[in-house]
Amino acid sequence: MTSPSFITPPGTTASEGSPAVYLRRSFALDGQPVRATLRITSLGVHEPWLNGTRVGDEVLAPGWTSYAHRLAVSEHDVSDLVHEGANVLGAVVGEGWAAGRLGWESRRNLWTDRLALWLELVVEHTDGTTETIVSDGQFRASTGGTRESSIYDGEVYDARLEPTGWDDAGFDDSGWTAVEPLDWPEGSLVRTGAEPIRRVETLAPVSISVRDDGRVVVDFGQLITGWVRLTVDGDEGTTVTLRHAETLIDREFDVRTLRTARATDRYTLAGGGSQTWEPRFTFHGFRYLELTGYPGEVTPEDVQAVVVHSDMVRTGGFESSHELVNRLHDNVVWGMRGNFVGVPTDCPQRDERLGWTGDLNAFTPTAAFLYDVRGVLGSWLADLAAEQEEAGDVPWIVPNVVATPSPPTALWSDAAVSIPWALYQQYGDVDILTRAYPSMTTFVRRVEALLDETGLWSSGFQYGDWLDPDAPADNAAAGKTDRYLVATAYFAKVAREMAQTSGVLGHDEDATAFAALAERVRRAFNDEYVTANGRVASESATAYALAIVFDLVDDRQRQHAGDRLAAVVARSGYTISTGFAGTPLVTDALSSTGHLDEAYLLLEQTDCPSFLYPVTQGATTVWERWDAIRPDGSLNDSGMTSLNHYALGAVADWLHRVVGGLAPLEPGYRRLLVAPQPGGSLTRARVWNDTVRGRAEVAWQITDGSMRLDVVIPSGATAEVRLPLHPEGAIVEVGDGAHTWTYDLPAADSTVIDMDTPIAVLAADPGLWSRLDAVFQDKLPGVPIVPSGPEAHSISLSLLLGFIPGVPDGLQEALESALTAHRAGSPTPTTAGAAR
């Protein structure tokens, strides 16, 4: 049997603006076959056809992998498409990731300068014999309607140039050219196990407006990744231009967040009646569409947004009584959907869309809860390991497309360890760790050699707390937290995960060595960055969150560190002061040290920067920058402002585990922890996860002083249930099945809170003091009101007003109103600024 080879038209190169390649071959079959299987891949992205019918429902195949190491082969059952007699097998190949420009450096042809196709069609006959049609010299090549096919810049299609019937029998291909083989390592061809990229959903417009100059602007109501399906009827030669954007600024179509990506499709009509077209070899991150050249009136039926991403199975969800928090969680889900297009990317819209390791490392616990990511991330981790083996270090971007070297860097490079460990926690599959173990150990030993004599990671490049909101706009790595503090903290965590992984796999000597390394780095961190009482260097929310969550402080230091963190968070007015390194951890650090009220105040804050500020600005995904769109409606035009960036959505993990109250106590949910911690203005929450053992669900609701908790435990699992707000702090053990508890909550504190209450008592309630502080900021800006110290126990608000000369109008009334609102239990309207 002849083996398939990669075939390509002779003398052509995949240069900028070059057309897609059309390839076809006729073959005849004696008798109706009983089965036929097509295996196919390409250099470029392909769309296969058989006897005039599109094969399968994959798009952008073969997806994006580290092609030189692993090129994905798809397999399709095409038994219903082949028949006795003449058959035609073909494909269209666009430039895709393999040949198109990638990254902000606009590098092209990183894997190939020739578009090529590889396939084999195995046909089984009724007599048990088989015959195989392969990609070889019997194929013919040409071009057609697809004139350009750039991932970043869009697709250009001229329907007049489409060779009608090219994919069916009877077509005259004598004018087409021969093909020639292209050398490519056959050993790179793999079945990756990743879910294909597919059209997953279609959205109709929520509004269509016509501007004075004739441009049509369409709002689909949701920022998505995909393209637009266009229906149009017009004269031959009419060209419709489709531009895509994430946002309108001052009601105007704004493409600055795309940087150099043109994100523009063009369709030229062939005439002859209504035509429906959609791109095949590009994708865009967009909410808004601008149409020019459209003949006639645009109706909602004429433009449909097609949502495209890796077709993973949804496994988890969350909802609560707080609509803004629900929208935040929805934004996290949409952000993940938009960035899992073959590769888990940082953003789907601009001239980047790359597999940054740090973004995914921060987000993996959330991703693995929301979707079954074993396929997509299993394939991606195999790419990471292959590129790490070739380069010696873990690339910051996988697949790696940038010329800049990637020295070992905390949170980015250690994705090699933390992502497999997080997946193991979710799915309990030891094979995940087994496959990743060589990559994991190589990274840890590499960094171990870089530690200084005390055990600190104190040299080399670090991203630090990337995108700390206080970092300069032109240097997102220059946050307020010492970057080597961040690096050492993360490596202490990673070394511990490495030790635990070695133990799970039975590598006892490694387990002992890595445990000693983890303790050495932990002790070095504590000696260098933590005082005896628990104050942490940098005095930032990120520094405290790392020290607490990664268990880098001793028991005697932990509570003081938590108290200091609460003070830091209050000092920021419960707005966000953390970046990539700290944001996934800060609410956990607060809630685990007895500062649940502060964690909820941080969650429910709506001023900029905060988790909910983008929601109040109409965001439908998670932003790259907390202030991507400023309160005045202007764009933060820093040159790095994506409106779809999932990394900072990692707070959803805390929503699942702490607010909802569902977490694995043992890998794969063999044993569950059910421990909701109600707080803030929330009166109910529900969280669910389709674990590898079945559905797990937790729902709690507070009604008229009573708590109801409903729990579902999957088959064969057990759970420790910590009954929320139970008057006796009850903890129970349960088996699988449905369980319900209902009980009265402890009576509310009957202490009278009024203008005569000592300030120290008022300040003991973070939510109440946040209300009062907001009043002081408004009425007495710049005047420090300190709710601590000996005098705070003897001075009330009434006495304080007596010390203020010329009490501003409305101050007393506003304070009384804040006290009344607190007594009524209304949501706390937290405000940015110092809690003085």
Tell me the one-letter amino acid at 143: T
Contact in structure between 100 and 6 (CB atoms under 8 Å): no
**Quick one: how far is CA 343 from the chain centroid?**
11
Question: Distance between terminal CA atoms of the chain?
Answer: 81
Helix (H, G, I), strand (E, B) or coil at 174: coil
Of 140, 135, 131, the residue nearest 5 (C-alpha): 135
Catalytic residue among 278, 352, 387, 697: 352
User: What secondary structure, in 3-state letters, does 706-749 show?
Assistant: EEEEEEEECCCCEEEEECCCCCCCCEEEECCEEEEEEEECCCCC
Catalytic residue among 47, 148, 604, 624: 624
Q: In sequence order, what E strands does 592-750 have?
A: 662-664, 671-674, 684-691, 694-703, 706-713, 718-722, 731-734, 737-744
The DSSP-derived string for 261-281 is: ---EEEEE---SS-EEE--SS
Nearest-10 Cα torsion for 404, 408, 411, 416: 100
- Name the helix (H) or strand (E) containing 485: helix 483-505
> What does the block give as tokens for 604?
């429910």
> What does the block give as tokens for 276?
């429906």
Phi-psi region of 774 (alpha: psi -120 to 50; beta: other; left: phi over 0): alpha
Per the annotation, the verdict on 352 as an active-site residue is yes
> What does the block give as tokens for 546?
């790392």
CB atoms within 10 A of CB 585: 26
**Quick one: how far is CA 314 from the chain centroid?**
14
14 Cβ contact partners less than 8 Å away, ≥ 6 residues apart:
44, 95, 99, 100, 108, 109, 112, 113, 114, 115
Q: Name the phi and psi angles at 122, rounded to 5.
A: -100, 120
Q: Name the phi and psi angles at 664, rounded to 5.
A: -80, 130
Rg of the chain (C-alpha set): 30
Q: Look-up: residue for tokens 């009434």?
A: 798
Per the annotation, the verdict on 58 as an active-site residue is no
Helix, strand, coil percent values for the chain (each to nearest 5): 30, 25, 45
Q: Name the phi and psi angles at 737, rounded to 5.
A: 110, -175
Question: How far apart, in Å, are the Cα atoms of 487 and each of 193, 222, 491?
Answer: 33, 37, 6
| Cβ burial 82-120 (10 Å sphere, 16+ → b, else e) | beeeebbbbbbbbbbbbbbbbbeeeeebbbbebbbbbbb
> What does the block give as tokens for 606?
């709506």
149 Cβ contact partners less than 8 Å away, ≥ 6 residues apart:
19, 20, 45, 94, 95, 96, 100, 155, 156, 280, 281, 282
The DSSP-derived string for 334-354 is: HHHHHHEESEE-S-SSSS---
For residues 749 and 823, give the distance between their C-alpha atoms in angstroms, rounded to a whole number. 10
Helices and strands of the chain, counted as H and E runs: 18, 37
Annotated catalytic residues are: 352, 624
